[in-house]
């Protein structure tokens, strides 16, 4: 099963890397599927000699990019493309990210890119986000206890480690049948909450890798 998932991530990563053109500035996501994309992009730089600059969403993705020879820069100018993984995606394009704690940087790059590609394998495509059930938050540490008190009805759990930016990471248990957008908006309105992990993505830009090496999209 693990090998099947790795093959699926590799397929999605290769398909994504194939969309990158010479000279592009590309946002590099965090997680196993995004790592496959970074490695595939590095292979194109090595084998085809294309020139690409990457902007990483985490120290982990920066390390992988360094290993495969992708030069890095800071965010600023508009990105040509960004790619990342996801924890769950529903039929409406609502997407949960943040299991790796990098959702703040991921949103910054996703919204500054002309095109945002999401890389997943088939288990990440769900009929409802209730199948995932967790909404992560990035919170200023000073406000963490207050935020957890205000959201006590959602069984908040603070992770032991902070994000790369030093934010407290708090996971909310979203009840089945709840309105995910409403829950995310409620959390975001609290002082000290920097961001949450609910995104909306374009289904035709969700690349689903399969163990046999083929890819499809979620559209």
* Distances in whole angstroms, Cα of residue 124 to Cα of each of 52, 80, 86, 103, 166: 29, 25, 7, 17, 28
pLDDT tops 90 at residue 141: yes
Taking the C-alpha atoms of residue 106 and residue 27, their distance in angstroms, rounded to an integer, is: 8
Task: Please state the pTM of the whole predicted model.
Answer: 0.92
The pLDDT value recorded for residue 2 is 72
Per-residue pLDDT tens over the stretch 170-190: 999 999 999 999 999 999 999
pLDDT score for 1:
67
d(CA 160, CA 89): 26
What is the rounded distance in angstroms from the CA atom of residue 44 to the CA atom of residue 68?
A: 10
User: What is the DSSP code string of 114-183?
Assistant: S-EEEEEEGGGB-S-GGGT-EEEEEE-GGGHHHHHHHTGGG--EE-SSPPTTS-EEEEEEPPTT--HHHH
How many other CB atoms are found less than 10 A from the CB of residue 120?
24
Q: Does pLDDT of 139 surpass 70?
A: yes
Which domains are present in the chain? 2-122+200-210 (3.40.50.1360), 129-194 (3.30.70.260)
Looking at residue 92, the DSSP 8-state letter turns out to be T
pLDDT in tens, 71-118: 999 998 899 999 999 999 999 999 999 999 999 999 999 999 999 999
150 — pLDDT class (breaks 50, 70, 90): very high
Residue 111 tokens read as: 């919204």
106 is catalytic: yes
pLDDT in tens, 28-58: 999 999 999 999 999 999 999 999 999 999 9
Would you state the pLDDT for residue 28? Answer: 97
Which residue in 197, 4, 192, 15 sits closest to 102, CA to CA? 197
Spatial separation of the C-alpha atoms in residues 102 and 113, rounded to whole Å = 17
> Average pLDDT, stretch 60-69?
97
Q: Which residue has the tokens 């199948």?
A: 131
For residues 136 and 1, the model is more confident at 136
Tell me which of 106, 111, 131, 150 is the catalytic residue: 106
Of all residues in the chain, the percent with pLDDT exceeding 90 is 97
């Amino acid at each position: 099963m693990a090998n099947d998932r790795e093959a699926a991530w590799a397929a999605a990563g290769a398909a994504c890397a194939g969309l990158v053109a010479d000279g592009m500035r590309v946002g590099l996501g965090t997680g196993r599927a995004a790592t496959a994309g970074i490695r595939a992009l590095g292979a194109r730089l090595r084998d085809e000699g294309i020139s690409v600059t990457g902007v990483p969403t985490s120290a982990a993705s920066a390390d992988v990019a360094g290993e495969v020879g992708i030069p890095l820069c800071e965010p600023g100018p508009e990105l040509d493309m960004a790619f990342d993984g996801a924890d769950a995606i529903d039929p409406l394009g609502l997407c949960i990210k943040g299991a790796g704690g990098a959702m703040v940087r991921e949103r910054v790059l996703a919204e500054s890119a002309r095109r945002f590609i999401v890389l997943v394998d088939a288990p990440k495509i769900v009929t409802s986000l209730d199948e995932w059930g967790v909404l992560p938050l990035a919170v200023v540490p000073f406000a963490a206890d207050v935020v957890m008190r205000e959201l006590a009805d959602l069984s908040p759990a603070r992770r032991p480690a902070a994000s790369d930016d030093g934010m407290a990471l708090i996971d909310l248990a979203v009840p089945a049948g709840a309105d995910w957008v409403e829950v995310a908006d409620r959390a975001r309105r609290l002082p000290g909450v920097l961001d949450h992990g609910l995104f909306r993505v374009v289904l035709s830009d969700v690349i689903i890798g399969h163990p046999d090496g083929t890819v499809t999209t979620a559209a």
